[in-house]
């Protein structure tokens, strides 16, 4: 069927009189979950770059914990490198000694335990492990700030690595807290 220009104008005019259809972008599951966390963009970027299908909040928390388990030893290696070069800087050496102890605990105990709890559905245990790891990373940051005198322009000898771990821990705490609340509501 061939339309004349008048038929086309009539068709377009009648379409314009129809109430516009609302088209909304449907955010993905990852985006919806990450909106509930304190670091939305980091959460989305981390989860979308993984080659793992996210089915629910629990799988998000597991993926983030696995990413941190892979990343924390890299931070520990960086600490060891800075520590080895800190011979003539007693404040830096003291700060890095503390950070080394903190990250050894984060790497070998807290994050693996949090993931183990997550795998068992113990969201409270996962939350506690991630929270403790985040607090130790924050203590490391505090030690580094004390070493640099806390000046605004001073950079951490660990770069952004320590802040990354802190932020990832806070994302995990946020998600596992929600999972725990959901679990408690289902039990009541």
Q: The CATH number of the domain where 92 resides is what?
A: 1.20.140.40
In the chain, how many domains are there? 1
110 and 136 Cβ atoms separated by less than 8 Å: yes
Is residue 106 included in any domain, yes or no? yes
Q: Whole-prediction pTM value?
A: 0.81
SS3 call for 18: coil
Is residue 94 included in any domain, yes or no? yes
Q: How distant is the alpha carbon of residue 95 from its chain centre?
A: 25
- Residues of the chain with pLDDT > 90, as a percent, come to 65
Distance, in Å, from the CA atom of 127 to the CA atom of 133, rounded to the nearest integer, reads: 10
As a whole number, mean pLDDT of residues 57-66 equals 95
Domain that holds residue 146: 27-187
As a whole number, mean pLDDT of residues 2-24 equals 45
Q: What is the mean pLDDT of the chain?
A: 85
Winning range, highest mean pLDDT, from 5-14, 149-158, 166-175: 166-175
Distance, in Å, from the CA atom of 64 to the CA atom of 181, rounded to the nearest integer, reads: 19
Is residue 182 included in any domain, yes or no? yes
């Amino acid at each position: 069927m061939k339309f004349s220009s008048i038929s086309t104008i009539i068709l377009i005019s009648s379409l314009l009189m129809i109430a516009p259809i609302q088209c909304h972008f449907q955010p993905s599951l990852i985006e919806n979950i990450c909106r509930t966390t304190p670091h939305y963009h980091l959460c989305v970027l981390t989860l979308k770059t993984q080659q793992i299908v996210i089915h629910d909040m629990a799988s998000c928390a597991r993926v983030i914990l696995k990413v941190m388990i892979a990343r924390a030893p890299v931070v520990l290696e960086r600490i060891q490198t800075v520590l080895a070069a800190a011979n003539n800087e007693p404040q830096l050496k003291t700060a890095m000694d503390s950070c080394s102890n903190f990250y050894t605990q984060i790497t070998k105990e807290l994050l693996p335990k949090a993931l183990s709890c997550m795998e068992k559905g113990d969201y409270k245990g996962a939350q506690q492990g991630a929270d403790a790891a985040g607090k130790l990373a924050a203590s490391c940051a505090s030690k580094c700030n004390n070493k640099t005198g806390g000046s605004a322009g001073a950079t951490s000898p660990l770069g952004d690595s320590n802040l990354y771990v802190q932020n990832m821990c806070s994302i995990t705490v946020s998600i596992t807290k929600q999972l725990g609340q959901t679990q408690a509501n289902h039990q009541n």
